[in-house]
A and B are shown apart, each in its own frame.
Chain A
Amino acid sequence: MNTQSNAMNSTPVAGHAVGPSDIPAIRQFYMSVQRELWENRSIYIAPLAVAVLFLLGFLVSSIRLMQTLSSASSSQLHDAIVQPYDLVAGMIMAVTFVVAIFYCLDALYGERRDRSILFWKSLPVSDTTIVLSKMAVPVVVVPLIAFALTVGVHLIMLLIGSAILQGSGIGAATLWRHVPLFHTWAVLFVHLVAGHGLSFAPFYAWLLLVSAWARRTPFLWAVLPPLAIAGVEKIAFNTSYFVGMLLSRIAGGTQPSEPAATMTMDAMTPPLGGLLSSPGLWIGFAVAAVFLVGAIRLRRDRGPI
């Protein structure tokens, strides 16, 4: 007992260049991300509300389905049972995407507007740590919340569905055979983390940059410059490369020239390996890094509005 506590006490001093009274940047980063969640509860409340509403709807439709179940064909049954799983995943994804956009627009603007930046800057946390912690919310935290929530909803749906099918005499096994949950979850995870988190990083970084820069209406400042670039390009060269580039990134790597035949998540999720090795992702990271450096500089320079 005694030796153990001695060993534990001596590790941080011996193992690190950081002095015993210092707090590592990673812990400051973690606390700062936590603080963002305290402030922006809509990050999890909004998708949670969507999930609850969806489950209520699903319960009603399942009960209605029970009455027509015996006369349904196999493919109808498959559609009726499987589709809601993709639907709720899509709904949660959409709402968290919107939440992430508005989060970013307010992240470095709100603290200047309410003057609380003067308090935050009185603490020994660097602007880099703060901006990166704000970037981590849309890139990592929001996709993980969306994923966890979707998995939770899927499990509840599975329970409801099993109970109803069992009660109607068909047997829950049908449901388990038709719903490839683990596959869905794996695809969903890649779609959310790689697709929404990593591919959209330059968008989120742009929004943070605008949020750190704007004196008012960050939303307009975020939207107008891209529109202006697209407009000038169209007038000057009669081309739409810029818009095409933005759209292809929003579509998550799928080529806009060959639209996906079906809007299923499978079709819209590029393989993870392919995505990670695509130059597009790394160009996006470089662009995001430039925007973030700008946001960090602006956070240092700009005071309360």
Chain B
Amino acid sequence: MACIEARGLRKKFGSTVALDGVDLKVEEGRIVGLIGPNGAGKTTALDVIVGLTPYEGALKVLGRDPWNERDQLMRDVSFIADVAVLPRWICVSQILDYVAGIHPRFDRSKAEEFLARTTIKSASKVRELSKGMVTQLHLALVMAIDARLLILDEPTLGLDILYRKQFYDSLLNDYFNRSRTIVVATHEVQEIQHVLTDLMFIDRGRIVLTCSIEEVEARYFEVLVHADQAAAARELKPIHERQIFGRPVMLFDGADPDSLAELGEVRTPSVADLFVAVMSRQPGRRQGVVQ
């Protein structure tokens, strides 16, 4: 069974179209990166999936309708919204008590173990914690919930690089320990690309690319083209071109790697470069724009 299955998902806020017919399917056990520019509809898409927002179209998350069955769905789904939203008045031990009291899949000792590795004291109030500590506390709560689906919307916003790395490492460890599906929306594409199994690019309310990391490796090639081969390389219709130290770097979709190797050094593009290339080909955006 697909973990998330959506067809023709639409959402309007007044006259603004946030989701414009989104079709997507996330199989169980995948780690999907939802990547898109600001205002592309990432947060709206995730809000719809966790039942915060009504929608038009067909959507099933773990076989349920999120808008009408949010409370049942949340037994199996955890999510962190895009900003620190923990209530500022609550103290750490109270929030552990509360979640332990109402959540059937919350393992309190696991959350305490996670917190013990931080400098957060159980008597502290959330308002006394730094932004990074609040995020850590939220992560501790979410990681201690044995959820089948984990939705993360900019989960490491405001964390320094050490904590970000620690977060994604523990996410990965946890992931390999059990079969869990994760959908993560983030701007820090480079930091998570080694964690992901699937990519999903979203732009102006539409999914513009879905593919697994293996497909990316088989299909997309980035070539650091020798200066004298530039014209020949352009013949092969790269989907994107930029310059590094005066040398053209071209991104090809579905070209033959052997013939590309004659033009220059071939490698798999980073997710960030692929993202820029795919976005630049969207109608209405300027072609081949280099930042």
With both beta carbons as reference points, the residue of chain B lying nearest to A27 in the complex is identified as B101
The answer to whether residues A28 and B50 also contact, given A116-B87, A118-B81, A126-B71 and a CB cut-off of 8 A, is: no
- CB atoms of A116 and B85 under 8 A apart: yes
| Interface stretch of the complex, out of B72-80, B222-230, B245-253, B256-264 | B72-80
- CB atoms of B74 and A39 under 8 A apart: no
Q: Which of chain A's residues have a CB closer than 8 A to the CB of B50?
A: 121-122
With both beta carbons as reference points, the residue of chain A lying nearest to B79 in the complex is identified as A122
The answer to whether residues A115 and B72 also contact, given A21-B105, A125-B102 and a CB cut-off of 8 A, is: no
How far apart sit A30 and B73, CA to CA, in the bound complex (Å)? 21
With both beta carbons as reference points, the residue of chain B lying nearest to A41 in the complex is identified as B89
- CB atoms of A114 and B103 under 8 A apart: no
How far apart sit A12 and B51, CA to CA, in the bound complex (Å)? 30
Q: How far is the CB of B79 from chain A (nearest CB, A)?
A: 5
- CB atoms of B102 and A27 under 8 A apart: yes
- CB atoms of A23 and B81 under 8 A apart: no
What is the 8 Å Cβ interface bit string for chain A, positions 36-59, against chain B (1 contact, 0 not)? 001100000000000000000000
With both beta carbons as reference points, the residue of chain A lying nearest to B146 in the complex is identified as A21
**Is A22 an interface residue when CB atoms closer than 8 A count as contact?**
yes
How far apart sit A117 and B78, CA to CA, in the bound complex (Å)? 15
- CB atoms of B88 and A123 under 8 A apart: no
How far apart sit A125 and B80, CA to CA, in the bound complex (Å)? 16
**Is B54 an interface residue when CB atoms closer than 8 A count as contact?**
yes
The answer to whether residues A124 and B103 also contact, given A39-B89, A114-B88, A303-B53 and a CB cut-off of 8 A, is: yes
With both beta carbons as reference points, the residue of chain B lying nearest to A128 in the complex is identified as B71
**Is B243 an interface residue when CB atoms closer than 8 A count as contact?**
no
- CB atoms of A31 and B81 under 8 A apart: no
Beta-carbon contacts under 8 Å, A85-134 to B: 111, 114-127, 129
- CB atoms of A22 and B101 under 8 A apart: no
With both beta carbons as reference points, the residue of chain A lying nearest to B90 in the complex is identified as A38
**Is B236 an interface residue when CB atoms closer than 8 A count as contact?**
no
- CB atoms of B74 and A31 under 8 A apart: no
Q: Which of chain A's residues have a CB closer than 8 A to the CB of B94?
A: 35, 38
The answer to whether residues A115 and B83 also contact, given A38-B90, A121-B70 and a CB cut-off of 8 A, is: yes
**Is B254 an interface residue when CB atoms closer than 8 A count as contact?**
no
How far apart sit A119 and B141, CA to CA, in the bound complex (Å)? 11
**Is A301 an interface residue when CB atoms closer than 8 A count as contact?**
yes
Contact of A35 among B78, B79, B98 (CB under 8 A): B98
Q: How far is the CB of A263 from chain B (nearest CB, A)?
A: 38
Beta-carbon contacts under 8 Å, A145-163 to B: none
With both beta carbons as reference points, the residue of chain B lying nearest to A304 in the complex is identified as B85
Q: Which of chain B's residues have a CB closer than 8 A to the CB of A121?
A: 50-52, 70, 74
- CB atoms of B105 and A122 under 8 A apart: no
**Is B99 an interface residue when CB atoms closer than 8 A count as contact?**
yes
- CB atoms of A119 and B104 under 8 A apart: no
- CB atoms of B87 and A124 under 8 A apart: no
Beta-carbon contacts under 8 Å, A245-260 to B: none
- CB atoms of A31 and B86 under 8 A apart: no
Q: How far is the CB of A37 from chain B (nearest CB, A)?
A: 10
Contact of A124 among B47, B97, B98, B102 (CB under 8 A): B102
Beta-carbon contacts under 8 Å, B38-53 to A: 47, 50-53
- CB atoms of B74 and A124 under 8 A apart: yes
Q: How far is the CB of B174 from chain A (nearest CB, A)?
A: 18
- CB atoms of A119 and B54 under 8 A apart: no
How far apart sit A111 and B71, CA to CA, in the bound complex (Å)? 18
Q: How far is the CB of B270 from chain A (nearest CB, A)?
A: 32
**Is A62 an interface residue when CB atoms closer than 8 A count as contact?**
no
How far apart sit A303 and B74, CA to CA, in the bound complex (Å)? 17
- CB atoms of A111 and B87 under 8 A apart: yes
- CB atoms of A115 and B85 under 8 A apart: yes
With both beta carbons as reference points, the residue of chain B lying nearest to A22 in the complex is identified as B104
Q: Which of chain B's residues have a CB closer than 8 A to the CB of A30?
A: 101
**Is A184 an interface residue when CB atoms closer than 8 A count as contact?**
no
Q: Which of chain A's residues have a CB closer than 8 A to the CB of B47?
A: 303
Q: Which of chain A's residues have a CB closer than 8 A to the CB of B83?
A: 115
With both beta carbons as reference points, the residue of chain B lying nearest to A28 in the complex is identified as B102
Q: Which of chain A's residues have a CB closer than 8 A to the CB of B98?
A: 31, 34-35
5 closest Cβ contacts across the A-B interface? A31-B101, A126-B71, A116-B87, A124-B74, A118-B81
The 20 sampled A-B contact pairs (Cβ below 8 Å) are A21-B104, A21-B105, A30-B101, A31-B97, A34-B98, A35-B90, A111-B87, A114-B88, A115-B85, A116-B86, A116-B87, A118-B85, A119-B81, A119-B85, A119-B87, A122-B78, A122-B80, A122-B81, A125-B102, A126-B70
